[in-house]
Structure 1
Amino acid sequence: MKRRKELSKEELRIIKKNISDEEAFEEFFKDCYLRNLRPATISYYKNEFHAAKKIMNKQLVECEQKNIENLILQSKQIMKVTTINTRLRALRAFFNFLDKRKLIDINPMKNVKLLRDRQKTIETLDNKEIEKLIKIIRKEKTFVSFRDEVIILVFLDTGVRLSELVGISVGDVRENKIVIRKTKNLFERTVYLSGTTQEQLSRYIKIRGELEVTNKLFISQDNRELNPHSIQTRLTKYGKLAKISKRVSPHTFRHTMAKRMIVSGVDVFSLMHLLGHTDITVTKRYVNLWGQDLEQKHKLHGALKGLKI
């Protein structure tokens, strides 16, 4: 039988040197390091790749669209939509990189979209809940409780993330402002303090004193750097003691700050900078969520109010 001039897809597959997962990961993570991605982001990619590979039980570089779709169907039985989308974002980044470098023939994520998810109500704390929280903390009268009070005030005043707060050094505090250096997107920004927070923070710094072991602003009782998990644990404890049904967490304080700023009339671009968002979409979502508050504010202070026309 006479051979065809062109090789078939199967024959091309046989002679093509296929890249292994290990080789693909090496190239991908080398690129991550060159782009100076955060260690947390790199760990996130590694964890998601390992989990996806375990579920699919095959080399990721050999995946086809149907394998990704089966992964989604299996995951829906045991995971929340947000968790599945988190994994899909990691896989998308991986396969897009391989596709761009021409290390794979077909990008299995090309036609796979993130799952639609209902927009959940974002919880925030009201005045009474914040006051109850501070009142409960002040009953303890210890270094740790005073430190925690100041931490909460900084969270509420600035909307900083937990990772950003633990990264603050004493030298980053400049009277009524704090320079946030260890940010999620690697862009430094300045956040501002109200008079109350500035006064309490100044008192805390005096009590903290100068230490040789660390220059971090917030420290443990043993004068060591503060563990982020311990902050969350203590906030949860205070929330239960204050009998607050909502989740008391750094992110709840961040949302509370955003809401209060919006209701006070801060424009979306200023809030975007204060929160350290790189995409205005997230900031605009806050505005949409609390539109009723803005509607009420407009009724009270609208430009035409008081005009006899």
Structure 2
Amino acid sequence: MPTPGRKTVLVTGATGNQGGSVAKLLLQYPDEYVVRALTRNPDSVPARKLSALGAHVVQGDLTDPSTLDGAFQDCWGAFVVTNFYDAKIQNDPSSEEQQGRNAALAAQRAGVSCFIWSTLPSSVAISGGQVKCEIYEGKYRVDAFIRDELQLESAVFVYTGNFYENMVLRGHVVRTEDGKGIEFRQPVIQETTKLHMVWVEKDLAGVAKAVFDNWEERKEELRWRHLYAMDAVHTPREICEVVHRVTGLPTKYVVLPTTGNAERDIMFNLYNKTGTYPGVVLPDKHVLDLGVKLHSLEEFVKERLVPHLGLD
């Protein structure tokens, strides 16, 4: 049953970067929100940590609709993200699209009041037909399903960018063997490629909470809107310059030949051709208008990267 005076929000991907960040931020406001964290494995270490923080961890699987009605029941809100990097689906991009559809249908059946869908635009559209990346197209088709087929009036779309956290979580930034320099290593992406960047932990989570906070008063304005949950556009070369300036260590960018996955290589080549969101200027005024304080690359480097590199 819903908790009186507080809004219950279901968070999918709650043991991952996006969902976990949203869940942890909402958990800091226990007088306002109850967090229901969806996971396939409630006994995992990340799930147990969320439970210790106060989340109600429930077992469910976006690939199995029969597990979702109970998870969404009595929820006022939901933050839904699918993960192409999930070992269960990464070799079948169409599965990710079906997960998004399953979640939207379950939310509609449950009468969820505010449904945030983490998504991407059409790669075909932004590249002028040069690139088709199923990681993008699957999420984009879910947008149309939510808006045009379901006409789910509780839905808001949040665009994500290239994650600052990848420097740490995916080990993209490392000290050189002699300890006197730093290398920023990424597959495929060229040093002049324009990347719309987001500190997921701070800013994607902040945008999601701002939508939930403002929904009742501003739902007509927010319904079906795409919000760019990113703070700025940076090239890898510019990132290296900031890392160098903050750490004092010379920083070199290294392009690795492949991600090891064909669809991810296509996605990164899309970035090289068009940038992540061609023509989109940041920050998004609609995000700022929600009262979100965005965080910069320099702040991320100082707060997260410097300690990770053992330089604090």
**Normalised TM-score (structure 2):** 0.19
- Choose 1 or 2 for highest CA Rg: 1
More helix by share: 1
